[in-house]
Each structure stands twice: as C-alpha cells, then as structure tokens.
Structure 1
Amino acid sequence: MKCETCREALSARLDGETEPAPPEVVDRHVAGCAACRSWLSRAERLHRTLLLRPAPPVPDLTAVILERTPAPPSEGWPARIALALVAIAQLGLAFAQLLGVEDHTAGHGTESLIGHLSHESSAWNLAVGVGLGWAAFRTKAASGQLPALTGFVALLLALSAGDLVTGQVTAGRVLTHGLVVAGLLLLYVVNRQHRLRNRPSPATTADHPGSHSAETGHETGEAPERPRQHRGFRRPASRHVA
C-alpha cells in the first residue's frame, strides 16, 4: 500500500467516513511505516484540537440586523381592490348602455348614427372596464394602459367642461365620467406600488452594468471582457425567444 492511500484512509477514519481500503491492511501499513505513524499522530492531535476548541464568542446582532432591514413593501391590496370595484362599475355602465340602446339598423338617418355612436361608446367603456380589471389582477399591466387612458381622460374632461358651460349636457351626465377618472388615478397608484415592489435591491444595483463594480473586477480591478456584439439582424431561435 502506498503512503498516500494509507493517509487518505486514515483521514476518512478520523472523520467517521468509509475508508477506501480495508482497515486491517491500513493498520498493517501503519505498523510498518514510521512516516505514516508520525502523520497519524499529528492528525489525531489536530483532530482533538479542532473538536475540543470552543467557538469564539460573537455578539448577538439579531436586533441590529432587524432594525436596519427595511420592511418589505406591501402588496397594495386596498388600491387593487378599489381598482377592481371601479372596473366592475365601469363594466356595469357599459352593459347598461348596451342594453338600453335601441337598434336602429333599418335606416341611415340621424337616429341610426346616434345608435352607432352609442355602440362605439359602450364598446370603449367595456374595454376600459376590462383593462382596469386586468390591471388590478396583474399590476404590471397598469403601465401599459396609462398613456392611452391619460390622453382619453384629459380630452374627455376638456370637452365635458366645454359642453357643460354651453349647456349641451347636464352636470349629472358629466359626473358619470367620474368612474374613468377614479380608475385612472387608481391605475397610477397601482403602477407606483408595483414599481416599488420590483425595485432592485442595493446588491443588484451594485452589479448593474453602469456601476463601478461591474466595470472592474472585484478582486483584480481589471475590466471584465465584454460580450461580442452581433451586428445586423439575428434570427430568433424560437418564437418564445422572439
């Protein structure tokens, strides 16, 4: 038996592991090899030292860590529930408008045009209600609805104010647009809460490509090798990648 194999078996024996060689063969080698007996003696002393040495005292930092750890952001359920209720009310308004409009498909006069415009308005109200409900369920979808809904509400408020001043509509009719205004405000709140929940941690920010830690190596201080940039159009490997 070689000394390397014997010492590997002795190390496994000290650690309580399975020896790679029969124990009687290892003992017979140790009995006839002074170098391995000396190595075993030193290994046993080191093993006893490591087992009997007490752990160094350390301070209890639990309270300090908990105090400095920021509280996790809330899920924003009140705003999401309010947005869902506004979406349900908006859907109810759209269905009521659809069911209350008479069908004037026989003629092509003013009544038919008014009926068609009412159908378009109902379809838009229905789409807004579906969008608000989806944003309450999937908060990341709120940001995609903000540009279109903001432009619609801004123009709607301006036109409604002009119609109210000229007496073309009543104040009660204008107040029915309060649902979409409330939905827009709640959409901004839900979007902000979603961004706060998904804000990168300081550790992630430190590894951002624009930070110093990503520009240079943590230990060597050398700039890491940048990946090659493929010029031109790269065909995606699958529709999922696309």
Structure 2
Amino acid sequence: MPEKSSSLWTTMVCGYAQNFCSNEALDLFEDMVGEGFEPSGSTLASVLSACARSGCLELGERIHEFMMVKGVGLGDGVILGTALVYLYAKNGAIAMARRLFDEMSERNVVTWNAMICGLGAYGYVDDVLDLREWVVVPNGVTFVGVLSACCHAGLIDVGCEIFRSMKSVYGIELKIQHYGCLVDLHGRGASTNSGNTEVAERVVKEILALEPQNNVVLSAFSNMQRLDTGRKF
C-alpha cells in the first residue's frame, strides 16, 4: 500500500463515489479527515463532481457541511462553487443550486452550464430562457441545456429559433447532441403536426448516415415514433 497522501485519499473517495458506493465513499472521506488530512479546494471539487455524476447527494451534502464548518466558502474559487452548483442541480435540489449560484461573486461558462442544464432537466424552462440571456459567452453545452428545456416544455418554435441562432449569431459548431435535440423537438410536436414528423425524419436520416449507431438520435427518434405510431420510418 503506497504511503497515504491527500491525492491518494481523493482518488479512493472519487472512485467509490463514481461507482455508486456512497456509504463507502462517505466513510473514507470521514477517515481521511479523521487522520488529519485537510482536503484542498481542488480535492473537494473533485469529490463533489464525482458525487454529482453518480447521484451521491448525501455524500455531497456532508462535504458541503464540512466546508461550512471549516469556513470554506464560495469565495474560495469559482471551481469549488461550480462543483457545488453542479452537485445540487444535477440531483434535483434546484432551490439550493440556485441559491449557491446567486451567491457566487464569480462565475464561468461551466457554472452557467451547470445551472442551466439542471434547470432544464427538471422543467424550469422560464428560468433557463432567462438565464440564457445573461451568459456572456455561451458554448455548445449551454445550448444543449437550453434546447433540452425547450423539448421538455414543448416549445418547438422557440427551440428551433435558438437552434438556428447557434451558428448564425454565436458561431457555434452544431454537434450531434444539438441535432438530437432538434429531432426531439419536432418529434414532440408530431402528434399535432405531421409535418414536424417529416422534418424530424429527414434530420434523423442525415445524422444516422454519418453515425448509424448514435444513441442520442436513436433515442430521440424512438420518442418521436411513440408519438406518431401510425407512421413508418
């Protein structure tokens, strides 16, 4: 066993969290602190991000409590603040995520994306569209969150307008995830407008010609078919 160090502890805690072993990760984190290892801001951010991705909200909350006890606040760096926003937004604790987001004195595009994608995933489309206007330099991930929110809310026209603006206004390269959102947008409108289905089918064919096994598009197209079971691809 190598000599224990802060980086080794971090690797172990993150490993447990990423493999959904939240109890083991929590025990190990407490052992780490108990043995006198003070986790750095980057260590805490790494563990919080692992908790966010794996759904270990309880562990993330305990780490947040530890930070407050130790006086580690959002002023200690945008990376740590972003990790907390990501943790809560990713796991549906939207009110807490938004409070932390609003308290941050400095944000970067990753912070904005974490908040926007979390809001979009849980149906807060008005908040997403409002926040979008304040992002100074949005990127492709920003628009995945915004387009996903439009899909959930059935805002087909708004979503299509935003999709078109990506390249024409922001100069952002359209990627497979964005086309997948476009397919989903049209698919959700297929039950009331068969023309949407035809447009979506054309988009699907173009994408699948390039990437036949693209799961994002296949899933979106599957949703479209469920809404329009009488049509054949």
Q: Report the structure, 1 or 2, having the larger helix content.
A: 2
Q: Which has the larger radius of gyration?
A: 1
Q: Calculate the TM-score normalised by the size of structure 1.
A: 0.23
Q: Calculate the TM-score normalised by the size of structure 2.
A: 0.24
Question: Which structure would you say has the larger RCO, counting Cα contacts within 8 Å and 6 or more residues apart?
Answer: 1
